[in-house]
Amino acid sequence: MPSTHPPSEGNTATASKSKLPPILVGRRAVITGAGRGMGKAIADAFEEAGATVVRLDLKEGDNVRACDVSDAASVARAFEAVASEGPITDVVHAAAIAIVSSVADMTEADFRRVTDVNLTGTFLVAREATRYLGHGGNILFIASQGGLKSWGNWGAYCASKAGVLRLADSLVEELAPHGIRVNSISPGSVETEMLATTIVDIARKTGSDPDTVRARYLSAIPMGRFCQPAEIASVAVTICSDLFSYVNGSNIVIDGGELSR
């Protein structure tokens, strides 16, 4: 997110990828938004850790099943089909969109689209998850640091992600007695196609250029670099493993220290 702080220096190390141990063997996970970006990275990491993974995304693709998370019937069909093939132990909801605009300029249609996908979609996925998960199951939401703090031109996105976090709180109370854990991850700026597209869009709307916008975002991060999708994925794997068996109702912020400022 934009910041007036100076760029970090001497901290430009890139993330390294280490092999994940087989800590999810025997588990079967449904992961939304798995066609690209963080969702794909999470799906890949779950498989690397030994889980069987069913990948859902808006468009069908290679090893990806079609599911529109903003459509109740589509979500219900997808979960019914997956459950008919075997038990579901974990649901990771990573599907999301961002439309950056001032409140004054944002259309009602765009606001509804953001909330339909990010918040209503989370509700629909969570509702189906509660119907199929059993004792020992996990629901993990990919929320956002934007759910904890808002910035100008991010109103719709931040409002939707704040709603995701409060929905998670409610589910913790409802599902803990059934042995189902509910947690969330709140990433900061992650090096994905969504981030690249958003930077270009902000540059266009502000009369700036993408390199300047990118530099401004980087200047807000104490670690001096964007997060890599694999760094989100490794945390997601760990949360859903027995290593985190007593972690419930937690929101783990992964933003390189940005919110500390």
Q: Where do the domains of the chain lie?
A: 28-190+228-248, 191-226
The pair of three-digit structure tokens given for residue 19, joined into one six-digit string: 């092999």
CB environment 175-213: b (16+ within 10 A), e (fewer): beeeebbbbbbbbbbbbbebbeebbebbbeeeeeeeeeb
pLDDT tens by residue, 238-254:
999 999 999 999 999 99
Contact 213, 151 (CB under 8 A): no
pLDDT tens by residue, 205-230:
889 999 999 999 999 999 999 999 99
pLDDT tens by residue, 105-147:
999 999 999 999 999 999 999 999 999 999 999 999 999 999 9
Residues of the chain above pLDDT 90, percent: 92
For 201-222, the DSSP string reads HHHHHHT--HHHHHHHHHHT-T
pTM of the prediction? 0.92
For 6-72, the DSSP string reads PPP-S--PPPP--PPPSTTTT-EEEEETTTSHHHHHHHHHHHHTT-EEEEEESS-BTTEEE--TT-H
50: left (phi over 0), alpha (psi -120 to 50) or beta: left
CA distances from 194 to 94, 189, 197, 201, 210 (A): 12, 10, 5, 10, 14
Domain 28-190+228-248 CATH (choose: 3.40.50.720, 3.60.20.10, 3.30.360.10, 1.10.8.60)? 3.40.50.720
The answer for residues whose C-beta is within 8 angstroms of residue 187's C-beta and 6 or more apart is 38, 142, 144, 145, 227, 232, 254, 255
Q: Show which residues are catalytic.
A: 157
pLDDT band of residue 15 (cuts 50, 70, 90) is very low
